[in-house]
């Protein structure tokens, strides 16, 4: 294959194609990069891995033993090998990264691991993929859908942005019946031929604007989210409360016969899933959908209960019902589910005050969802605000905020918004950059909170300025609360 013929080959290449003369460069040796390199090697491609970090020596050694070339350390990504046929990028790499822009300038295809995984199961091992994206609620909805599928007796896995690389699942010996794929905008940016069985866009709000920097950043973010609906074969699931998500369905080039399915926490119209008298009901996937509604679950089956989690449950139900999952399995899946931590998780109740770990709220819209669950709270916020605005959040909830305790590199951004929109709310700004600041946070919060309040760690910001991740931030908060709770010696 010459240069052009290789590119022509890659337009339709799949698991059964001859990859032996393809030189693929994998950009990044993180979790997804490692699995992508492993996947490409399994196809028979020649693989080079490039990463500026030198912390992946163990992974490099394994890949080199499999005949990959690995270049680590500063300057490793400065040059793209001259005979590169394909670049597979890790999702955290911005599209304007020099290595990727050089590839595109040379006409070299750039895929993400999602595109690679899709090719790796075609044409003879294809199974349905249910895709989930949105600014918030992706992980919860993905877990709900996976649990519903398993309750129906299906072999299913939650993969993608949720933590487990999708290529790893494709390489797994487990013969899955379906995959539920959490998809970030970064991952969707590099999708080209993926045709999901069904897909949901949960909501759209400002986030990751540091990634989509420059004019039109939000519009580019939405455009990447919209790619999830392209080529969908069965159902495009949208949020009735956010018309922009329905617009994305209307504008998508879907496979003929694909339907638009709405989800709502209100009474559903035809072709929707929603809530009636404390029940989650289906008016989309029923035999006589014009006149009947099928009970899927009780709202009480959703745990932890919060309005946004009910919406997530409706979206998950729409996805799995598109695969024919019976109503009883929707309810059983919700009851069986044990969500990952740090999302409106109650740490303790002390003297009538509930201490809530919502560290996974890494943008204002996620914090908004948690705030709606509590009538009065001491708010613990701050971190890396990623270019987002807190004005609307504070305007909406200023009457609920007993006090605010602010930490992190962008704490002043939130302090300024509080000053503009809630000047009467007491604000404590902690300048410490040490992750041990949570002891101080909890001490101040215990003094400020009153019986019936919550102390709500819902930062609305990313965590990597002070912590190893949102989970580390939440665990340190919980540890500090438990220390407060422990009897003195």
* Separation of CA 243 from chain center: 21
> Per the annotation, where are the binding residues?
134-140
What number of helices (H) and strands (E) belong to the chain? 17, 20
**Contacts of 450 by beta carbon, 8 Å cutoff, 6+ apart:** 353, 376, 402
d(CA 91, CA 308) in angstroms, rounded, equals 27
- For helices 217-226 and 243-251, the axis angle rounded to 10 degrees is 60
Structure tokens at 449: 């909170």
d(CA 283, CA 292) in angstroms, rounded, equals 7
Pick the closest to residue 71 from 85, 57, 84 (CA basis).
Answer: 57
DSSP for 188-229, written as a single string: HHT-SS---SEEEE-------TTTS-STTHHHHHHHHHHGGG
> Per the annotation, where are the binding residues for ATP?
134-140
8 Å CB contact between 178 and 158: no
Structure tokens at 248: 């994305």
Find where tokens 């959040």 sit: 393
Pick the closest to residue 353 from 425, 448, 474 (CA basis).
Answer: 448
* Separation of CA 467 from chain center: 19
d(CA 167, CA 121) in angstroms, rounded, equals 10
8 Å CB contact between 343 and 358: yes
Structure tokens at 68: 């990959």
8 Å CB contact between 187 and 111: no
Q: In terms of DSSP H, where are the helices of 86-190? A: 98-105, 113-121, 138-151, 166-171, 185-189
**Contacts of 46 by beta carbon, 8 Å cutoff, 6+ apart:** 20, 21, 22, 23, 24
β-pair type (279-282, 198-201): unpaired
The verdict on whether omega for the bond into residue 123 sits within 30 degrees of 0, i.e. cis, is yes
Three-state DSSP at 158 gives strand
Structure tokens at 377: 């709270």
Pick the closest to residue 260 from 242, 237, 241 (CA basis).
Answer: 237
152 class by beta-carbon count within 10 Å (0-12 exposed, 13-18 middle, 19+ buried): buried
């Amino acid at each position: 294959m010459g240069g052009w013929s290789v590119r022509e080959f890659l337009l339709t290449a799949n698991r059964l194609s001859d990859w032996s003369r393809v030189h693929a460069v994998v950009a990044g040796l993180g979790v997804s990069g490692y699995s992508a390199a492993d996947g490409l090697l399994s196809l028979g491609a020649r693989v080079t891995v490039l990463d500026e970090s030198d912390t992946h020596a163990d992974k490099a050694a394994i890949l080199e033993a499999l005949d990959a070339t690995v270049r680590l350390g500063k300057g490793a990504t400065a040059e793209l090998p001259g005979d590169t046929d394909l670049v597979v990028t890790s999702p955290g790499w911005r599209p304007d990264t020099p290595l990727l822009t050089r590839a595109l300038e040379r006409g070299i295809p750039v895929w993400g691991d999602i595109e690679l995984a899709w090719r790796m199961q075609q044409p003879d091992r294809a199974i349905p993929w249910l895709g989930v994206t949105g600014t918030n609620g992706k992980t919860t909805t993905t877990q709900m859908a996976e649990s519903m599928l398993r309750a129906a007796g299906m072999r299913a896995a939650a993969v993608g942005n949720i933590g487990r690389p999708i290529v790893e699942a494709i390489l797994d010996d487990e013969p899955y019946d379906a995959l539920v794929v959490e998809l970030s905008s970064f991952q969707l940016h590099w999708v080209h031929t993926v045709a999901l069985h069904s897909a949901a866009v949960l909501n759209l709000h400002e986030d990751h604007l540091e990634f989509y920097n420059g004019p039109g950043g939000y519009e580019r973010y939405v455009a990447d989210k919209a790619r999830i609906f392209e080529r969908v074969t069965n159902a495009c699931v949208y949020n009735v409360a956010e018309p922009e998500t329905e617009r994305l369905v209307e504008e998508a080039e879907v496979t003929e016969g694909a339907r638009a399915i709405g989800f709502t926490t209100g009474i559903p119209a035809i072709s929707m899933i929603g809530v009636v008298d404390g029940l989650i009901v289906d008016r989309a996937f029923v035999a006589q959908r014009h006149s009947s509604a099928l009970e899927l679950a009780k709202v009480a089956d959703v745990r932890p209960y919060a309005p946004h989690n009910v919406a997530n449950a409706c979206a998950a139900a729409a996805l799995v019902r598109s695969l024919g999952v019976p109503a009883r399995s929707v309810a059983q899946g919700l009851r069986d589910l044990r969500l990952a931590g740090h999302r409106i998780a109650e740490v303790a109740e002390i003297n009538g005050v509930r201490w809530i770990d919502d560290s996974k709220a890494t943008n204002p819209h996620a914090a908004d969802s948690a705030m709606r669950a509590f009538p009065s709270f001491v708010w613990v916020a701050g971190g890396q605000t990623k270019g987002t605005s807190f004005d609307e959040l504070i305007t909406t909830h200023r009457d609920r905020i007993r006090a605010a305790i602010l930490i992190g590199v962008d704490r002043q951004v939130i302090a300024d918004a509080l000053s503009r929109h809630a000047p009467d709310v007491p604000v404590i700004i902690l300048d410490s950059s040490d992750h041990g600041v949570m002891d101080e946070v909890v001490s101040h919060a215990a003094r400020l909170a009153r019986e019936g309040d919550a102390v709500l760690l819902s930062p609305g910001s990313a965590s990597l300025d002070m912590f190893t991740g949102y989970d580390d931030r939440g665990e340190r908060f919980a540890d500090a609360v438990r220390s407060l709770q422990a009897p003195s010696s």
